[in-house]
A and B are shown apart, each in its own frame.
Chain A
């Protein structure tokens, strides 16, 4: 009996060994005290220790010092309270190579109750290459967003010139008026009058109006890294609508705003969200312009988990075929590419953990585009620890 059991154990151990060494991920087994019992080949590559060196040592060997201290505490806590902080969950943590290099790891932990007490099995995946790809993607995205902002700027160019013309014209005329009056006073040897000062004040106001327009445009165009912050979606959308109305001055499409009274907080980059809204709005206005009723409705709502911004137009909606290809890059039903805009908008939304959805409408219903973003949760304090 005993002999057979021993043989079985030996076979299963050999199988386990070869499994460990062929695994694509790092595998570590530790006991209740944090001592490493298993350290596979991938771990040797990840951390720069041989398995002989590692086995028997505390697992804090492969953690940055700031985590190794808390790890003992977390294990202790778990044994005392049974509260699972990582077991069966998995999370992103930092590991440390023998040479001191700290790098991101995805760690999943399982627990086994053995005759020799509790043991924990950790599976580790190096996140560095994935991280590099993610970084590259978000860099590219930022670049493309910048480009679309520039092309939007191009379209706005004519509107802008017109908009700046007004305050500049008024400013120059006020100055011409004052210059004349000062010259006339000079000739008559009279002191300048209060009226001239009044005109100068108005000239200053016009100069400010012009610079305000430039500032607003600059905010839209400047290239910068995404900045996440907790924002009230209503404010951010409102600002985008104001800007759009300002650019489309004199247009005959009514923009209806359906907003609630309570703030809707999301964690997002305000400028990128405005970029999406402007994009949706531009498309909707274009469609609404050709329709009979000529309106665009922008509504904001939320449930427990998600916030929504919906943009509906008074147009005829679009066919199912169009709907399918809508988000494909470069696909468009218009001459001036809106496909790219939608594809980018969706990418931005997904980057925020949200999405961009289209309801094609039809049968007298206009199309609706809905931007969905996860709601902000203040109690979501994530700790980056091994515990």
Chain B
């Protein structure tokens, strides 16, 4: 399962189009809180999470899931500067970063 956590509806919709167009199973959440209140992800899932979510941030969500022991594969997306991204992902286990706007094919990057 591919889990998208993104507050911008257009970006979330476009990501969903890309993944589901390739025949992949997708679920979309607009916030970290929404995901937590739903079924927790499993290690088999891939979570694509915007670091700059309002409320609980993307980094906090990953930390929260790590603590709960339900760590999916994480791909963080962000439009911020590399310094900000480094600060926001500090202390997290291997996280793949995709920067907005995309410079390469994201489907390949996500499924690789």
Pairwise interchain contact B100-A199, C-beta atoms closer than 8 A: no
Pairwise interchain contact A206-B17, C-beta atoms closer than 8 A: no
A227 CA to B26 CA, complexed, in Å = 53
Contact with A along B67-88 (1 / 0, CB 8 A): 0000000000101110000000
Pairwise interchain contact B17-A177, C-beta atoms closer than 8 A: yes
Contact with A along B42-85 (1 / 0, CB 8 A): 00000000001010000000000000000000000101110000
Pairwise interchain contact A176-B10, C-beta atoms closer than 8 A: no
Pairwise interchain contact A180-B107, C-beta atoms closer than 8 A: yes
Out of A158, A168, A181, A250, which one reaches B101, CB within 8 Å? A168
Residues of B within 8 A of A168 (CB): 100-101
B15 at the interface (CB under 8 A from A): yes
Pairwise interchain contact B21-A180, C-beta atoms closer than 8 A: yes
Contact with B along A156-169 (1 / 0, CB 8 A): 00100110011111
A352 at the interface (CB under 8 A from B): no
Contact with A along B1-35 (1 / 0, CB 8 A): 00000001011011101100110000000000000
Pairwise interchain contact B21-A169, C-beta atoms closer than 8 A: no
Pairwise interchain contact B8-A173, C-beta atoms closer than 8 A: no
A172 CA to B17 CA, complexed, in Å = 11
A166 CA to B100 CA, complexed, in Å = 7
* Whole-angstrom distance between the Cβ of B23 and the nearest chain A Cβ: 9
Pairwise interchain contact B10-A172, C-beta atoms closer than 8 A: no
Pairwise interchain contact A176-B8, C-beta atoms closer than 8 A: no
Q: How large is the interface on B (under 10, 10 to 19, 20 to 34, 35 or more residues)?
A: 20 to 34
Q: Closest chain A residue to B54 by CB distance?
A: A250
Residues of A within 8 A of B102 (CB): 169, 172-173, 176
Pairwise interchain contact A169-B54, C-beta atoms closer than 8 A: no
Pairwise interchain contact A170-B107, C-beta atoms closer than 8 A: no
A209 at the interface (CB under 8 A from B): yes
A47 at the interface (CB under 8 A from B): no
Out of A166, A180, A199, which one reaches B8, CB within 8 Å? A166
Residues of A within 8 A of B107 (CB): 176-177, 180
A168 CA to B100 CA, complexed, in Å = 8
Residues of B within 8 A of A206 (CB): 10, 14
Beyond the given pairs A176-B106, A206-B14, A250-B54, 4 more chain A to chain B contacts, judged by CB atoms under 8 angstroms and listed by A's residue number, are A169-B100, A170-B8, A173-B18, A202-B10
